[in-house]
Amino acid sequence: MTRLNPFDHGGPVSGEHFAGRASEGAAVVSRLSNHIGVVVTAPRRYGKSSLIKQATEVLAASEPAPAIVHVNLLQAGTLGTAAELMVRRHYQVPGGPWHRLKNVLPGFVKRLRVQPTMTIDATGSPVFSFAPSVGTPDLQLVIDDVYATLNEIGARRPAVLFLDEFQAAVELDTHLPRQLKALADQYRNVSLVLARSKQHVMEALVLSQGAPLYKMLEQIALGEIPVDDWVPFLVKRARRGGRPFAEEGLARVVHEMAGPVPFDVQQLAYEAFNQADTTIERDTLEVALSELVRHRASDYATTFEGLPAGGRRVLKVLAAGTTASVGSAEFATLARLSDSSSVHKAVTQLIELELVVLRTGVPAIEDLFFAAWLRVVLDEH
């Protein structure tokens, strides 16, 4: 019998699918409730968007209901599309003052100094667009007007502008970070929320002295979710789905095999649930891991083959689980590199490519499924 899988890893999660991060979630809710901006930083797939989604849903359940405008800048691709999405999401804010007018759409558009073209989609909702001839200065005015109207709403309830994948900001408009700083300075009733994984990008835009948004936002850095938070979550979800773990300790094994990245833990649990008959056994976890590695093998091979030879050899040594320190002569010998300086250069490049991360200060392969694929390659050779 087909059962609904109780684990969700396809995108940002919230509610019963959200694991751990109680203190971080409470911190975000508190700040958004009080018009304080935040920047959430973490490695890839650590749940930045999920944390903010969870926090905004908690906030939305309170009174008065918040006004939240969420735009993914990377998905937007252009400043024009980003402006269109901001306008559309802003229009959809429940309880916006324009919704009290007899002519809602004209009343809303009147608040924008640059008038968009309006069409109606299949659901009956308005879609706003700007012609390609609308230049950057006019699109900046649109963003100004959205921020100003959010600030007006924020005088009576929480108002949030959440810009995900903020590293794309300078690709859309090099002046956008400084524009946002000016707006945040002028309009104090809006919580500006930014999220991105690449630390060096956030340093340049937000965190380091001289950055456009330096000291404008409170940083919330996400670390690993403790295994003691994962175990009860995994056990409860599997039991609710009707295929429990044969032993509670197997939930800890899921974390050992996939952790510490939350996305990967949920994905391995998802696949294990699919592979199980009535209960999740140790063998079920092994089969699930093999399946996930097999699904990604082609992509892993493409990534691996595109690396310089030194980087490939460093990854193989890391995947093999050597006890040698990365800075030691022994590691350089295992990686067949001339010296520790060559190892450092290769590791730095792998970190920039987000294939390697520092865990407790020690380089490790970021994706444990990739590491498992590498071990298969090593066994075959």
For residue 221, give both structure tokens: 């850095």
Whether residue 241 is predicted with pLDDT greater than 80 in this model: the reply is yes
Per-residue CA distances from 243 to 272, 278, 379 (Å): 10, 5, 33
Task: Residue 237: count other Cβ atoms within 10 Å of its Cβ.
Answer: 22
Query: H helices within the chain, ranges in order?
Result: 22-33, 48-60, 73-76, 79-91, 104-109, 136-154, 169-172, 176-186, 199-202, 227-241, 249-258, 262-275, 282-305, 309-320, 329-334, 340-352, 368-380
Q: Which amino acid is at 146?
A: V
30-65 pLDDT per residue, tens: 999 999 999 998 888 889 989 999 999 999 888 888
Strands 218-221 and 191-196, bridge-based pairing: unpaired
Distance separating alpha carbons of residues 9 and 265, to the nearest angstrom: 9
State the virtual CA torsion across 223, 228, 231, 234 in degrees, nearest 10.
-40
Whether residue 2 is predicted with pLDDT greater than 70 in this model: the reply is no
176-187 pLDDT per residue, tens: 999 999 999 999
Distance separating alpha carbons of residues 64 and 301, to the nearest angstrom: 51
Distance separating alpha carbons of residues 371 and 365, to the nearest angstrom: 6
At residue 50, the pLDDT reads 92
Kindly report the backbone phi and psi dihedral angles of residue 117, in degrees, each rounded to the nearest multiple of 5, phi listed first: -80, 140
Distance separating alpha carbons of residues 82 and 296, to the nearest angstrom: 32
Beta-ladder partners of 117: 129
Comparing 56-60, 237-241, 279-283, 301-305, which segment has the lowest mean pLDDT? 56-60
Helices then strands, each counted (H, E), the chain: 17, 9
Q: Which amino acid is at 119?
A: T
Residues 6+ apart with CB under 8 A from 289: 257, 258, 268, 271, 369, 372
CA nearest neighbour of 130 among 87, 75, 71 = 87
Are residues 270 and 282 in contact, defined by beta-carbon separation less than 8 angstroms?
A: no
190-217 pLDDT per residue, tens: 999 998 766 666 777 787 888 888 888 8
Distance separating alpha carbons of residues 380 and 107, to the nearest angstrom: 67
Q: Which domains are present in the chain?
A: 21-221 (3.40.50.300), 227-380 (1.10.10)
CA nearest neighbour of 228 among 244, 253, 246, 252 = 252
CA nearest neighbour of 56 among 104, 20, 110, 14 = 14
Are residues 259 and 43 in contact, defined by beta-carbon separation less than 8 angstroms?
A: no
The pTM (predicted TM-score) of the whole model is: 0.84
CA-based torsion, 144, 198, 264, 31: positive or negative:
negative
Q: How confident is the model at residue 1 (pLDDT cuts 50, 70, 90)?
A: low
Are residues 40 and 220 in contact, defined by beta-carbon separation less than 8 angstroms?
A: yes
At residue 381, the pLDDT reads 61
Distance separating alpha carbons of residues 179 and 79, to the nearest angstrom: 13
- DSSP tag of 281: -
